[in-house]
């Protein structure tokens, strides 16, 4: 659109020149300078009517072109959608037709194969039944033959055992006859004689059983008395006042010595709660360490039975290690068992 602008400025300068003057007394010329200034006003008017008209005309053409392109794109998209739908329907129909045809062909092929397999299976079933019947007959025939052989072997074995143990069988028959005589005999004195014999035999058997039970009872009593005597002797030894009078007391001590550069860190002694009379004694720990440092100590490998007894209590204690850090617990348990299995312990004889 058209617009106007106004500008104002002041211009100035110095004018220099020479002036001649007429002769009066002497006459001559001189130079003169004059300063001057002048305000200037400028008004500018820019007419953009023709440019604005051209812009509006171009805008109309552009809008028309935009509408035409939008309509063309919409028509193209609709045509593409219609073509895509038609293509999709054609492809889907063709795919399902192809699959249906393939499935039909496979079903026909499988049906013919299944029918042939059914015929073959029926033939195999009939063959198996024939084989089963034949095997059944063969089994019955072989069973009869071997049954007769084993019966003959049993009879022969019974005859040979009877021949080898004839005295035993003879005694058995005589004993059976004697037993039956006490029942079948009509003599009045025979049952009385056999009753006396049976009573004596019964009394002898009962006496032998009673002696055996008494012998076992006496052996158990002897073992109990020996154990009681040993326990009493151990209790008297533990409760004796002589040990207290000598000033000697026994307590478990854990002595640890490691191969380190610092001797104070490599040697340690651990005690259970000590009595006051022992805990306050000066140089008690150093005395224990000196006893373990003695070069004449005879260290013996730990017995397998003692190691097994310790493992019965050690392994449950190791398994019971439970904290919030499970990975650390697993490493600690593994390290403890690794150290335990690395080397056989050594002990001092009592």
Question: Going by C-beta distance under 8 Å and a sequence separation of 6 or more, which residues neighbour residue 289?
Answer: 255, 267, 269
Extract the tokens encoding 198. Answer: 């049976």
- In-domain check, residue 175: no
More confident residue, 184 or 139: 139
Collapsed DSSP state (helix, strand, coil) of residue 31: strand
Do the Cβ atoms of 50 and 63 come closer than 8 Å? no
Extract the tokens encoding 269. Answer: 């002694």
Residue with tokens 């143990």: 165
Please give the average per-residue pLDDT across 261-272, as a whole number.
69
Residue with tokens 């211009």: 11
- CA gyration radius for the chain? 66
Q: Which range marks the domain in which residue 321 is found?
A: 303-340
Question: Going by C-beta distance under 8 Å and a sequence separation of 6 or more, which residues neighbour residue 278?
Answer: 249, 251, 284
Which pTM was predicted? 0.27
- In-domain check, residue 271: yes
- In-domain check, residue 333: yes
- In-domain check, residue 346: no
Please give the average per-residue pLDDT across 173-189, as a whole number.
64
Q: How far apart are CA 123 and CA 114, in angstroms?
A: 14
Q: How many folded domains does the chain comprise?
A: 2
Residue with tokens 């001649």: 20
More confident residue, 246 or 252: 252
Q: Parallel, antiparallel, or unpaired: how do β-strands 3-21 and 28-46 relate?
A: antiparallel
Q: How far apart are CA 198 and CA 204, in angstroms?
A: 10
- In-domain check, residue 255: yes
More confident residue, 28 or 340: 340
Residue 114, strand partner residues? none
What are the angstrom distances between the C-alpha of 131 and each of 145, 177, 198?
A: 21, 57, 66
Q: Parallel, antiparallel, or unpaired: how do β-strands 267-270 and 28-46 relate?
A: unpaired
Could you tell me if 284 and 308 lie in one domain?
no
Please give the average per-residue pLDDT across 246-256, as a whole number.
69
Do the Cβ atoms of 21 and 30 come closer than 8 Å? yes
Collapsed DSSP state (helix, strand, coil) of residue 9: strand
- In-domain check, residue 46: no
Length of the chain: 350
Please give the average per-residue pLDDT across 14-35, as a whole number.
72
More confident residue, 334 or 187: 334
pLDDT of residue 184: 60
Do the Cβ atoms of 34 and 15 come closer than 8 Å? yes
40-59 pLDDT tens trace: 888 888 888 888 888 888 88
Q: For residue 78, which phi and psi values (nearest 5 degrees)? A: -60, -40
- In-domain check, residue 116: no
185-196 pLDDT tens trace: 554 444 555 566
Q: How far apart are the first and last CA of the chain?
A: 123
pLDDT of residue 188: 47
109-137 pLDDT tens trace: 888 888 888 888 999 999 999 998 988 88
- In-domain check, residue 89: no
């Amino acid at each position: 659109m058209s617009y106007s602008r106004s500008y104002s400025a002041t211009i100035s300068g110095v004018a220099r020149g020479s002036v001649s003057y007429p002769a009066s007394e002497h006459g001559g010329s001189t130079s003169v300078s004059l300063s001057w200034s002048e305000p200037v006003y400028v008004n500018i008017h820019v007419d953009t009517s023709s440019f604005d008209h051209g812009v509006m005309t171009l805008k109309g053409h552009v809008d028309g072109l935009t509408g035409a392109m939008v309509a063309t794109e919409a028509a193209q998209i609709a045509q593409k959608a219609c073509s895509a739908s038609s293509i999709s329907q054609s492809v889907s129909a063709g795919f399902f037709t192809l699959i249906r045809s393939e499935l039909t062909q496979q079903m026909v092929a499988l049906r013919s194969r299944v029918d042939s397999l059914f015929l073959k299976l029926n033939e195999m079933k009939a063959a198996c039944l024939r084989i089963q019947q034949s095997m059944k007959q063969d089994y019955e025939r072989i069973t009869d033959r071997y049954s007769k052989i084993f019966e003959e072997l049993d009879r022969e074995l019974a005859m040979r055992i009877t021949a080898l143990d004839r005295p035993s069988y003879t005694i058995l028959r005589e004993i059976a006859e004697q037993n039956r005589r006490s029942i079948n005999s009509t003599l009045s004195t025979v049952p009385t004689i056999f009753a006396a014999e049976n009573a004596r035999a019964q009394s002898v058997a009962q006496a032998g059983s009673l002696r055996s039970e008494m012998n076992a009872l006496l052996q158990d009593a002897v073992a109990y008395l020996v154990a009681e005597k040993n326990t009493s002797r151990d209790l008297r030894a533990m409760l004796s006042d002589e040990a207290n009078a000598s000033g000697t007391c026994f307590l478990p001590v854990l002595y640890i010595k490691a191969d380190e550069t610092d001797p104070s860190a490599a040697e340690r002694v651990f005690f259970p709660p000590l009595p006051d009379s022992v805990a306050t004694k000066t140089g008690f720990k150093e005395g224990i360490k000196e006893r373990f440092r003695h070069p004449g100590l005879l260290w013996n490998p730990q017995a397998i039975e003692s190691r097994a007894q310790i493992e019965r209590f050690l392994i449950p204690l190791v398994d019971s290690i439970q904290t919030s850090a499970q990975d650390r617990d697993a490493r600690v348990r593994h390290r403890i068992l690794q150290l335990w299995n690395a080397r056989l312990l050594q002990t001092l004889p009592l």
